[in-house]
Structure 1
Amino acid sequence: MLTLLAILPIVILIVDLVVFRRNILITATVVAVVAIAIAVGVWQIEPLLVPASFLKGGLVALDICLIILGALVFLNLLRSLGIIAAIEYHLGRISPDSRVQLIVLAWLFGSLIEGSAGFGTPAVIIVPLLVFIGYPPVFSVAAALIGNSVNSAFGAVGTPVRIGIGELATPEIIQTGAGLGGIVCVIVPVLLLGMMTARLREGRDFFVDALPFALFSGIAMAVPYYFA
């Protein structure tokens, strides 16, 4: 019962926005009221903590907005200076193979950005880059978000690990999480390659020929992921 109450605000948010397509401000207000009622009425949280929680949430949201704003400014700066064209040129020099370019951008470069900034910044930067070099917009969004999955543990210089799981007193949980994350690290670039193969409706050879590079890029992430 408590679990259902805990997820009720999230369910209301999804249903209101996706099913009923209501205004986001109205939905957010309803969700906030429900969350406050559950927190105070069920979990007996001190009423004074409610405005403090709102303030903390607002500051976190402001932090994220500033990071995303900085990423957009950075992207427009790259575009105005012609650096995006240079990136496209050097990608072609690294490999003219579009499969390799996809993995380098969506997985490897996206992981680098995630480690330095976090908060979804890779999607903001990688999606336009993929579109600029010729990938369809929907495919670019999907590839960037999938590439920015397991590497989020390194987000913002390892904040989720240092502040989150790093404070757990059970090494077994940390080791298990690192092992599972390492496995996913190998799966993600292979999945990106499979997506591209399906998108272009290519045959088995198109997938198999680039599979060694996909596996290598996954292992290259899995090893530091596990030991870090």
Structure 2
Amino acid sequence: MFILTEIRDTVALQPHTFGFEPTEVIARELNKKYANRILQDIGLVISVFDLTKCGEGKVRYGDGCLWYKVEFRLAVFRPFISEVLIGKVKSQDEDGIRVTLTFFDEVHIDKSQLPAPCAFDSSRQKFFWAAQMEPDTKRTELMDSPFQERLYIELDAPIRFRVEGDEFYDDEPGPPKAAQGAKYDLTVSKRPPYRIFASIAGQGMGPLEWWAGVGQADEQNNEQMDE
């Protein structure tokens, strides 16, 4: 889930920090710059892990700062493909489910990555899994199924998911300028700079309550068979 990546940068220390240990001040300045930010094709930076190389501080002409060339490692959040994680359901709509990890909210589960057969109940704004029905059951039949047989995916419920992929998106240039004749719709929400795509199709995947007691039931069955 977390990786280390090495970065090079130049850090300026202000005169009022000269009385402190340079490496501590440098680490603090690097955290201000990188922590909780997305690095393209790398991931979400959590914090500075350590400094691997730090040169001597140099003064530039007309500048009272000490400038240090440093090499350091960052602790970065970027789960690998097929990694299994646990988060909480943040929201749902007809297209799928959004999951939060508390510090990261852009985990998306497309409706095609739900266990079959699943359907979206528009009256409750929730997906449900009809585990007792055949995987190819049509939505109309699913909506006629008894409520007591539906396994709903509740908001804020702990959910186990498998990472299927991720995507980076850089929109730093911003909207086109109106002077150039380009139109820009302010109502269109920006794409997040980093998204994770996940699945809950498979044994043990999905809300934790779906599988609560399954292990105990298996143990009891094994004990009965041994007897």
Please say whether Structure 1 and Structure 2 have the same fold, judged by a TM-score greater than 0.5. no
**How does the TM-score come out when normalised to structure 2?**
0.21
TM-score by length of 1: 0.21
Which structure has the bigger radius of gyration? 2
Q: Which has the higher relative contact order, 1 or 2, with Cα contacts under 8 A spaced 6 or more apart?
A: 2
Structure with the larger helix share: 1
